[in-house]
Amino acid sequence: MEYALLQAVFLPLLLSPIAYIIGRKIGPTPAMWFTFGILLYATILIILATLSGTTEEHYPWTEQFGEFGFLLDGLASPFAIMIYVLSTILVLYSKPYMIHRFHEQYEEEQHEITSTSGNSTIIESSSLSNYVNAKSGLYFALYLVFAMGMLGTVLSTNLIEFYVFFEIMLIPGFFLVALWGAGPRRKIGLMFLLWTHAGAVVLLLGFLMIGLTIGSFDFADIQESEIPQDILMLSAIAISIGLGVKLAVFMFHIWLPWVHGSAPTPISALLSPAMIGIGAYGIFRLIVEFLPNTFADLSIWFHIWGLVTMIYGGAMALMQDDIKRLLAYSSISQMGYILFGIGSMSVLGLSGAEMMYVTHALGKGILFMMAGIIIVKVGTRNISQLGGLAGKMPITAVCAVIGALTIMGVPPTSGFMGEWTLFYGALETAIEDGSTVRAVTFGLGLVATALTMSYILWMLKRVFFGKLPEHLENVKEGSWYMTAPMMVLAGFTIVLGIYPDIFFNQIIPYMSGVIGV
Amino acid sequence: MAAEVLGLPFEVGAASAWLVWILPFIAALIMPGIGKISKHATGYAAVGFALMSAISAVSLLPMALEAHEIHDQISWIDSIGLKAGVLADPLSIIMANVVGWISFLIMIYSTGYMKGDKSITRFWFWMLFFIGSMQLIVLSDNLLQVFFGWEGVGLASYALISFWYRDKKKDHVGTEGRTVLGLLDYYSPTHAGMKAFIMTKVGDVMMIAGMLLIFLFAGTFGFRELMHDTSWATTMSAQGLLVPAFILLFGGAVGKSAQFPLNEWLLEAMTGPTAVSALIHAATMVKAGVFLVMRLAPLVFALSAAGILADQFFEVILLVGATTALLLGLQGMVNSEIKKVLAYSTGSQIGYMMMVLGIAGLSQQFVNGYTAGFFHLISHAMFKASLFMAAGSLLHVVGSRFMTDMGGLRKNMKKTYVFMWAAGLGLMGAPFITTGFWSKDSIFGAVYTSGHEWAIPIFAIAVLTAVITAFYTTRMLGLVFYGSKSKHIQKMEEEGHHIHEASLSMWVPYGILAVLTIAIGLVGLSFEGGLHELFTDYLEDSFGIHSVHNEIENSILPEFLDGINPVALAASLSAFAIGTGLGYVFYIGRWVDPVKFVNSNIFFYAIHKVILNRFYLNAIVYWCFVVAPLWLSRGVFRYFEKTVIDYGMNNGLQKAVGWSAKVVQGTQTGVTQSYLFVFGAGLLFVVLILLI
């Protein structure tokens, strides 16, 4: 199908004002279905394009930057599919959650108005439903742009194009956090913007170094040209750091717990698995594929950095009481797994790392939705105030257990398929190189899985099992809008865990091509 | 038997082998649906499917007796070149039958035991999942698929141990308020489930490392493929990785079978419903580890016969098994909770099986130890399932897990009394009439005649453990059924409770198994002979392991005991006599008061205390792997994450761009229009860039 990728990327952007108008004039439900429709259509386009093999589209752009293109190959398609599948499903989940959030905020603002009387006339005059309509219109518009930014990044074929999309994600991301986050949301939104922007600037520096040296920003030209070794190393390091901030690896991770803890839950569920993993995509595409020799030098550092992140994120997750912050630290740890896999420098290790992205998207998506349901239905996010909820919300509990198993890497969920291939890769390189350092990191990596298991199981125990506190006697199960998306993802993770070839068929040939060269 | 069905090649035997493990999974999946229609129907459906699975297993039995094997594969992960498959050889077929039928009886028992439970659908789901996972382990033809079942049983045990997730006081194990080294020795069901899952995960981590090592060199996970071409083993052996890889695999078995040093989860696993305990201890879970060793041991032995030495592998198994047998046996002597005594006993008996499998690999006559181990697995499965179910009845009736709350029950519960004695005799190894005697005797024989340098000390440990086993079994029976009624029971009777026999669906299953323990025991020697013959053929056909024939010369025993080692026989007879005799003195005849006896001198008192505190192993594990890491994490969180990273780096970056922050903050007016304006401007900027 012609223009399929172009449509998939730009339709959400172009139609976002309409979503805003629908929301504002009619109401949240039509806006939701409209957004859902657009994203569903785009998702189908992506899936069809994937099924027909590697798809490429090129459009003329500027002299300076080169071509504006889209490429959906074995590397990009799992990322693209997961980003849009998650985005599509989370639209449904957004409605009840965001309406709940708007109501909360309306009351807050009413309260502020009455206490500082007569300062603002706009909100005072508008009724609750108008307020909700306006906000939900804005929400869905921003949501569409956010999703589109993520997809654009993983389909880009040009460094500048990559950078532009990379930054586009930030704008709606910032607004979504700053407008509807929890806690000191503006400060946190700003933190998000600052950190990821600072990362992006470093990334841009790396891009410029490469681009100006070879005189082209097209991906296709990078591979063929010869770049001086020192510039290559410097730019690779700059790119790694820039993407490392996005991945929230150890030392660059601090923004993540704040942002993912604060963001509205459907956005956390998109940010955490889908967005930060794009950092991993960047490393695959820019470093592993285009700078293989530099990658060979850097891989051991990725490996160790990943290991440290795995353990550090897991240990910090043990200490959290806020359920969303716990999941955020867990995401840091999971990104460590991905980086660990990338550092393994073997076909199955890299494939496992990409599979980890997919599987983390599914598992963490489910767990964030679980957190959102608890926030809406119970009204607290502190684990110490929860307990024994399994009997009150059985569907949520079952899905949460499946999500937890996915994160822990227990078969038959997809987590296991990511994990064993990843560790196999690590072992393979360790044995082939006869490297003691790699053998030790392999062992410690396996130990880290036990740590992952501990914090996840402990969280489940404290949230769903044990005695039911008295104040939770009247808790109800979440609505279908909230539980059905979880169930879809839960089903998907099991199907993928039993039959991983759905993605391995794409990933492994690509990785063998890259490593084989 | 091959035929065409729907255009696909179809073999009846292969289909049965698939069905054995698929049926329970299908049943588990439809269970929530049935539960929606009628809670009552779930029990029938679950038992029905368990029966169908067991029947599929039986239909394979003729093939096993002819030493045929079915190896059927389908494509699975093509991109890595992995296939899924079933491997039904005599080992797995007999195991599948043991698992299938014992599970079936436990399922029948559960219909009575779990009657009226609100979450019965969830119970059946996990029980079926448990059985399915175990049969998957048994019938898989490759390690990766085994690992699916392996984690499946782990998951099911987690879910079932913490089945009563409300953590009510009556579902806890341990004594409230009792501490060991400053840590509470009192566990809730959800804690116990978590403990079991994480502790076995430690074993699983080792197992996966071993699996991956083998896959790296062999390029396959398949058991038969590994045997077919052994060049991988030569390479691995040259690099010194062969033995570590197999020991790592054995690490998985150590975790799952609760062997030392990963044994501590087994005790707390008693928080689950008793039917679950029976399943874990007799048919699934802990037997998975033994089965894995039985899968791998012939392979390793065949390799060593081909000149690739792997003796350390068997030595590790031997030492772990012997240590566990003694360590857990000792602890069984002092505990006052009936299920805990049985749990310790299981660990100890599994230690026996490991021990004899280890010695098998170190002796010339591999088949002797191998048969002995498997025979003991079968007989243990029968009497332990029976004992657990009977204990469940006692708990049901008395409403307490402590044996000190029972006593004098032999008149009230006649059937349970008789059956528990029969099964208990099996565990004690009562001479000539129980399976336990013959299987234990063949273990003694295999150890004694192995010719290995450690044979004598190991033999001594085995005999000592047998004495201990006979003692604690007698103690358990004595405390429960003899003496006068405890205060607890007297109180119950005063309140108008009538202590009576358990219901039909409960006593029949353990009755059957108790009778079988005796019935097979009566023909135990020929049963063992048949098994021996079968495995001799199996090992020769599949692994090329020839058994060495050496006639026992100058046998002083009558002809019907031919093949029995006189020393082993004498040892097992005296072990039974001493253990039971001591138990009788203290607990049935009650000539000596055990409490006074222990307190009579400081030495006995100290030993008793150390054993009662589980040799402090559990507390040490908690201090090292729970308390210390949490303490460390808290320190790092407070003094590094919150200070260096959060206040240092984060604020540093913010201050560095503080001026821009102020500018941006100026735009935070809270008015939608101004946000929209910014948003529009951003869009415009993007469009402009795109159009340059």
- Please report the pLDDT score of residue B327 as a whole number: 93
Inter-chain touch B692–A62, beta carbons under 8 Å:
yes
CB < 8 Å to B629, chain A: 315, 318, 451
User: What is the greatest pairwise CA distance in chain A?
Assistant: 74
CB < 8 Å to B636, chain A: 312, 315-316
- Provide the pLDDT confidence category of residue B549 given band limits of 50, 70 and 90: low
CA distance B504 to chain A (A): 31
Nearest CB partner across the interface for A466, out of B167, B201, B690: B167
**Chain A residue with the nearest C-alpha to that of B634:** A319
Tell me the C-alpha distance between B176 and B186, whole Å. Answer: 6
CA distance A228 to chain B (A): 30
Decide: residue B120, CB within 10 A, 0-12 exposed, 13-18 middle, 19+ buried: buried
Please say if the pLDDT value at position B671 is more than 70.
no
Domain that holds residue A504: 323-517
Q: For A302-317, how does the pLDDT look when each residue is reduced to its tens digit (9 = 90+)?
A: 999 999 999 999 999 9
Q: For B199-221, what is the mean pLDDT? A: 93
- Please report the pLDDT score of residue B399 as a whole number: 85
Lowest-confidence region among A123-127, A349-353, B118-122, B154-158:
A123-127
Residue A34 lies in a domain: no
Q: For A19-65, how does the pLDDT look when each residue is reduced to its tens digit (9 = 90+)?
A: 999 999 998 999 999 999 999 999 999 999 999 888 888 888 877 77
**B652 in contact with chain A, both atoms CB, cutoff 8 A:** no
Number of structural domains in chain A = 1
Nearest CB partner across the interface for B198, out of A122, A193, A450: A450
Locate all alpha helices (DSSP H) within A116-184, ordered by sequence. 122-125, 128-155, 159-180
Nearest CB partner across the interface for B653, out of A13, A194, A504: A194
The C-alpha angle B233, B234, B240, rounded to 5 degrees, equals 85
CB < 8 Å to A178, chain B: 668
Inter-chain touch B679–A443, beta carbons under 8 Å:
no
Nearest to B198 by CA among B145, B158, B152, B164: B158
Instruction: Enter the DSSP assignment of B141.
Output: S
- Please report the pLDDT score of residue A32 as a whole number: 93
The C-alpha angle A451, A455, A458, rounded to 5 degrees, equals 130
Nearest CB partner across the interface for A461, out of B148, B194, B665: B194
- Please report the pLDDT score of residue B666 as a whole number: 58
Nearest CB partner across the interface for A316, out of B166, B641, B653: B641
Put simply, the chain A residues between 395 and 434 with a CB less than 8 A from any chain B CB are 405, 410-412, 416, 420-421, 423-424, 427-428, 431
Lowest-confidence region among A183-192, B315-324, B369-378:
A183-192
Please say if the pLDDT value at position A515 is more than 80.
yes
Hey, CA dihedral for A509, A511, A514, A515, is it positive or negative? negative
Nearest CB partner across the interface for B208, out of A172, A316, A423: A423
CA B180 to chain centre: 26
Instruction: Enter the DSSP assignment of B78.
Output: T
Put simply, the chain A residues between 316 and 375 with a CB less than 8 A from any chain B CB are 316, 318-319, 348
Name which of B75, B126, B165, B221 to mutate to probe chain A: the one with the most chain A Cβ atoms within 10 A of its Cβ.
Answer: B165
Model ipTM value: 0.92
Inter-chain touch B151–A416, beta carbons under 8 Å:
yes
Q: For B287-299, what is the mean pLDDT? A: 93
Residue with the two structure tokens 């896999």: A341
Distance between first and last Cα of chain A:
31
Inter-chain touch A461–B191, beta carbons under 8 Å:
yes
Nearest to B96 by CA among B24, B10, B156, B46: B24
CB < 8 Å to B215, chain A: 424
Q: For B91-101, how does the pLDDT look when each residue is reduced to its tens digit (9 = 90+)?
A: 999 999 999 99
Q: For A450-501, how does the pLDDT look when each residue is reduced to its tens digit (9 = 90+)?
A: 999 999 999 999 999 988 888 888 888 988 999 999 999 999 999 999 999 9
**Average pLDDT of the residues of chain B:** 87
Inter-chain touch B653–A449, beta carbons under 8 Å:
no
CB < 8 Å to A62, chain B: 692
Q: Give the whole-number percent of chain B exceeding pLDDT 70.
A: 90
Q: For B404-417, what is the mean pLDDT? A: 87
Q: For B333-337, what is the mean pLDDT? A: 89
- Please report the pLDDT score of residue B377 as a whole number: 94
Name which of B137, B212, B640 to mutate to probe chain A: the one with the most chain A Cβ atoms within 10 A of its Cβ.
Answer: B212
Please say if the pLDDT value at position A119 is more than 60.
no
- Provide the pLDDT confidence category of residue B323 given band limits of 50, 70 and 90: very high
Lowest-confidence region among A495-499, B175-179, B341-345:
B175-179
Please say if the pLDDT value at position B10 is more than 60.
no
**Chain A residue with the nearest C-alpha to that of B644:** A251
Nearest CB partner across the interface for A427, out of B213, B661, B664: B213
Decide: residue A212, CB within 10 A, 0-12 exposed, 13-18 middle, 19+ buried: exposed
Residue A450 lies in a domain: yes
Q: For B22-55, how does the pLDDT look when each residue is reduced to its tens digit (9 = 90+)?
A: 999 999 999 999 999 988 889 999 999 999 999 9
- Provide the pLDDT confidence category of residue B509 given band limits of 50, 70 and 90: very high
**A237 in contact with chain B, both atoms CB, cutoff 8 A:** no
Most confident of A438-442, B399-403, B450-454: A438-442
Rg (CA), chain B: 29
CA A61 to chain centre: 29
- Please report the pLDDT score of residue B548 as a whole number: 67
Please say if the pLDDT value at position B332 is more than 50.
yes
Q: For B524-543, what is the mean pLDDT? A: 87
- Please report the pLDDT score of residue B551 as a whole number: 47
Inter-chain touch A424–B215, beta carbons under 8 Å:
yes
CA distance B209 to chain A (A): 8
Tell me the C-alpha distance between B647 and B654, whole Å. Answer: 10
Lowest-confidence region among A147-151, A219-223, B285-289, B664-668:
B664-668
Lowest-confidence region among A101-115, A316-330, B94-108:
A101-115
Nearest CB partner across the interface for A457, out of B152, B197, B215: B197
Nearest CB partner across the interface for A467, out of B80, B167, B630: B167
CB < 8 Å to A453, chain B: 197-198, 201
Q: For B584-598, what is the mean pLDDT? A: 88
Please say if the pLDDT value at position A131 is more than 50.
yes
Domain extent listing, chain B: 16-226+237-545+564-612, 614-656, 658-692
**A62 in contact with chain B, both atoms CB, cutoff 8 A:** yes
- Provide the pLDDT confidence category of residue B560 given band limits of 50, 70 and 90: very low
**Chain A residue with the nearest C-alpha to that of B645:** A254
Whether B561 and B569 have beta carbons less than 8 Å apart is answered as yes
Lowest-confidence region among B2-6, B331-335, B371-375, B591-595:
B2-6
**Average pLDDT of the residues of chain A:** 89
Lowest-confidence region among B93-102, B206-215, B364-373:
B364-373
**Chain B residue with the nearest C-alpha to that of A179:** B670
- Please report the pLDDT score of residue B68 as a whole number: 79
Instruction: Enter the DSSP assignment of B142.
Output: B
Lowest-confidence region among A104-118, A175-189, B293-307, B524-538:
A104-118
- Please report the pLDDT score of residue A125 as a whole number: 47
Put simply, the chain B residues between 619 and 648 with a CB less than 8 A from any chain A CB are 629-630, 632-634, 636-637, 641, 645-646
- Provide the pLDDT confidence category of residue A108 given band limits of 50, 70 and 90: confident
Please say if the pLDDT value at position B365 is more than 90.
no
Nearest CB partner across the interface for A453, out of B201, B632, B637: B201
CA distance B646 to chain A (A): 6
What is the dihedral angle through the alpha carbons of B83, B89, B95, B100, rounded to the nearest 10 degrees? 70
**B675 in contact with chain A, both atoms CB, cutoff 8 A:** yes
Q: For A415-460, how does the pLDDT look when each residue is reduced to its tens digit (9 = 90+)?
A: 999 999 999 999 999 999 888 999 999 999 999 999 999 999 999 9
Nearest CB partner across the interface for B202, out of A253, A427, A450: A450
- Please report the pLDDT score of residue B555 as a whole number: 43
Put simply, the chain B residues between 361 and 420 with a CB less than 8 A from any chain A CB are none
Please say if the pLDDT value at position B659 is more than 60.
no
**B84 in contact with chain A, both atoms CB, cutoff 8 A:** no
- Please report the pLDDT score of residue A1 as a whole number: 66
CB atoms within 10 A of CB A361: 29
Q: For A152-175, what is the mean pLDDT? A: 91
Inter-chain touch B212–A315, beta carbons under 8 Å:
no
Please say if the pLDDT value at position B683 is more than 90.
no
Please say if the pLDDT value at position B559 is more than 90.
no
Residue A310 lies in a domain: no
**Chain B residue with the nearest C-alpha to that of A105:** B670
**B191 in contact with chain A, both atoms CB, cutoff 8 A:** yes
Put simply, the chain A residues between 249 and 308 with a CB less than 8 A from any chain B CB are 251, 253-255
Residue A357 lies in a domain: yes
